[in-house]
Amino acid sequence: MLTSSTPSTDLVRNVSDEIWYICFESLRSNGSGLASYCREVIKAAHRCQRPIRIFEISNSKTGSHYELPSMVERVFVSDAFERKMEPLGYWMNLAHAMAQAVIREIGFRGAPRAIEIPDGFAIGYFLLQEKLTGNPALRDVPVILVAHTPVRMIEEWNGQDVHALPNWWTYRAEKWCYLAADAVITLSEMLERQLDAQGYLAAQRPVYRSVNPYISDQPPAAADRPAHQGPLVVGMASRMVDWKGLREALALAQAAQNAQLPFRLELCGHSHPDFDRARKDFAQLFENGTAVYLGALDARALHKRRQGWDCQIHPSKFDNFPYSVVEALTLALPCLIGRSNGVAEVLPPDLSQSIVVDFANPLEVLAAVRASATTRIMLKDLDLTPFGAEVYFKGRDAILADLADRSHKTTLFPFLDSGQARTGLRPIIQLPASATGARLTVVIPYYNMAAYISPCIASVLGGKVPADIVLVNDGSTDPTSIRKLDEFRNDPRIRVHDIPNGGVANARNYGVDRATTEFVALLDADDTVEPEYYAKALRVLDDYDNVGFVGCWCNDFQDETGETIRYWPTYNAEPLPNIVTNNTNCQAMIYRRNLYIESGRHDPGLRMYLDDWDGMLGMLEGGYFGVMLPGPYFNYRQRKGSIFSTGRALWSTNYSAIVRKRAALYARNAGEALLFSNANGPNNSFHLLGWETPLHSRSASAAPGKRLRHPYLLARSLAKRLNRFAERG
């Protein structure tokens, strides 16, 4: 393997011909997960001489590595993240790192023909968000999602709770990726039906069907394998979880024992709490050797073990395209599967009759096991063409050609709760700019802020789009702060209004009422914005007919030093989770002015605490949803004596008032909100979607400094365990 910053001269490759693949596992992982798929794609690329590039997770290295002689490039992405990024949590951090790696690679090499993302853990979230919010590197690159199986669906099959953070948000982002991708590729009708029934498939996004490639490295077993003495040996190569059919496999062994049939079940795969419970329930089978657990075997050890099996079983109730089944069949090893297994859809009818069984009927399965010698002969002539490299890449070519023919720019942003969102928000005729050429007015409430107002205004006027400013002096009492305003009164871009003190909500509303531009933004006098913030926001508002406002991440910085404390990530503003916990930078967003006046006005009755959150909820109640730019373009000053830091006692009182005031919004979303609240505890104890809540955190008694890091580290530990489980089918 060659490590280089540029391709070797021995390689002839055109980046615009490449398909790029995102993988949240290391390709060194053994088993039947996403890494197995990517390894098969690499084999197919070698065979067909098709240029590809694979972005994979790495704990030790980053950068581009070229395999010689080949058309395959691997880009390693580290899962070690900066402390300021920890609030994203593990999976969102990894999704962000993958997106940035892809964007950098496009900057170095040029744009690929297409990018393929898996559905699991929403690994493509930020790539899609960057594209949809106008990142020029991704503008013309199709991003296609392959439905391997959403992790939320797997967890539900396995009887796990899906509403506790951070998993709730990861699973919700997973679903959003389905709606946001340019196209979805499904691997089976079985999964496609379930995805459609649960709202994963959008009517305006094309859905294609494909089969993953498989190129066997092993010769098939002899079809005329001689009869052997001793019991029938049946193997299961899968994770030891209930949804993969663990209990059905053990019930089969129990039925064989009850029928006094010589029988041994060999279980190969990563352990799981499900297995511990099952081993206890079927203890006699393990004690007398009818069932044997061999642990997680690498590919070579598993192949050797399979040579002694009469039959393999894969009794999962639902399964999309398990490589473990395909591996067995290409080795001419009969593998019995259930009716809701995607592999059954690509098998010839006569073979399906022999290997597709009802695992709820152990006697039927035992009959199929005993007939495995006949099935083995049938497998000798199995047509492997559907799994071939040529078929795979011709299928991708056809999909990309069809997408190119369909190509059109959508004017509707993909919201998860789109049924509650209004459309037709853009004016038919663009409203005229102000006398200074601005389409945006920034409203800045001001009360005794002489020390901070100059950098605030400079950040607005230094932006990449013209902006007017309405500076509302909310009855300042400090002489220095009053004199400071004189510096701005003669600037044609700034209008200073002096009003009696009425609170920040009143000052914001006053300023918006006096703006004349199509768009308004709110900004506190002690905060600043990055130069590109407003330009990016206006682009989104111009592009989409169903977006009422735009925000971004917060860069929380220390007042005394200016150093970043952390990034606070925000996500697209929809009713959930925002009716329970605020997840927008609601004090510094950009609005369509007419919609703010109609639905988003801030409530002075809330006494300057949670009034901005309430205003954002008013927008959502009116059907005006928001998009959050994926980056820290708003700089939020953490200072002693600020309203937010001193008003915490008003939380319960004001939140109760908000719920009563927005009763219609809460009623429309009550079911999911109750499940979310029940799983995560009181909403005044958490506000980061990437972290566990105190209700679930094991570090409740830890020192405050350690408590900040614990949820991130725990999520990373759990993610690595999930990765290990995902390495086996």
Mean pLDDT of the chain: 90
Please give the Cα distance from 595 to 518 (Å, whole number): 10
Asked if residues 89 and 171 have their Cβ atoms less than 8 Å apart, the reply is no
Domain 421-665 sits in CATH at 3.90.550.10
Q: Any idea where the domains of the chain sit in the sequence?
A: 2-209, 232-387, 421-665
| DSSP bridge pairs for 208 | 185
From residue 349, give the alpha-carbon distance in Å to each of 11, 315, 330, 478.
44, 19, 17, 85
Q: Does domain 2-209 have CATH number 3.40.50.2000?
A: yes
Asked if residues 537 and 549 have their Cβ atoms less than 8 Å apart, the reply is no
Least confident of 60-69, 229-238, 263-272: 60-69
**Side by side, which strands form the sheet with 232-237?**
291-295, 263-268, 232-237, 311-314, 335-337
Residues 549-605 have pLDDT tens digits of: 999 999 999 998 999 999 999 999 999 999 999 999 999 999 999 999 999 999 999
Phi, psi of 484 (to 5 degrees): -60, -35
Q: What is the DSSP letter of 596?
A: I
CB neighbours of 496 closer than 8 A, spacing ≥ 6? 471, 473, 485, 488, 489
Residues 6-62 have pLDDT tens digits of: 444 444 578 999 999 999 998 887 665 899 999 999 999 999 999 999 999 987 766
Identify the residue with better confidence: 410 or 522.
522
Residues 209-252 have pLDDT tens digits of: 999 999 987 766 555 555 556 899 999 999 999 999 999 999 99
Please give the Cα distance from 127 to 139 (Å, whole number): 11
**Which is the CATH superfamily of the domain at 232-387?**
Glycogen Phosphorylase B; (3.40.50.2000)
Query: Is 232-387 in the same CATH topology as 2-209?
Result: yes
- CA end-to-end span of the chain, whole Å? 28
3-class DSSP state for residue 698? coil
Q: Give the global pTM.
A: 0.92
